[in-house]
Amino acid sequence: MTDNVVIALSCGTDNPNRATRALFFGAVAKKQGKNVTLFLLDEGVYLAKEGIAEHLKAATGDAADDHLSYMQEYDVPILVCTPCAVARKITEADLIKGARMAVGAELIDLACNGTVLSF
């Protein structure tokens, strides 16, 4: 059994419930001592843009920004799909603290060495 957990998140402002839930489970895994990586793709890349996550809440009332801030505080890598970001006019300069651009090969490498939760 691996202690590596990859949260692959492909939704953002288009589905606040799923986006917030994914960030919640990432924070839970980190609190349990797992090695967590957040990989944002498709609409999920918007969450890596400064100021976006602070406006997302799930139907349960929990805020995406609370969970994302926790992961930033504890240095969870936040990888942003480069082609997905470029297609949405998001640049490296737009990214939140702890986020960086990444390519699909990195997601595959992470997935081969961990448990993937996809949202």
Q: What is the CATH number of domain 4-118?
A: 3.40.1260.10
Length of the chain counted residue by residue: 119
User: SS3 of 30, please?
Assistant: helix
Number of Cα atoms under 13 Å in the Cβ half of residue 73: 9
- Higher pLDDT pick, 2 / 10: 10
Going across the sheet that includes 4-9, the strands are 99-102, 78-81, 35-40, 4-9, 115-118
Question: What predicted TM-score, i.e. pTM, was given to this entire model?
Answer: 0.94
How do residues 83-117 score in pLDDT, each as one tens digit?
Answer: 999 999 999 999 999 999 999 999 999 999 999 99
Give the list of residues 6+ apart from residue 59 with CB closer than 8 angstroms, or none.
17
Strand positions, DSSP E, 22-109: 35-40, 78-81, 99-102
Spatial distance between the Cα atoms of 91 and 18, rounded to a whole number of angstroms: 24
Q: Is the pLDDT of residue 1 over 90?
A: no
How do residues 24-61 score in pLDDT, each as one tens digit?
Answer: 999 999 999 999 999 999 999 999 998 899 889 999 99
Residue 38: other Cβ atoms inside 10 A: 28
Spatial distance between the Cα atoms of 4 and 102, rounded to a whole number of angstroms: 18
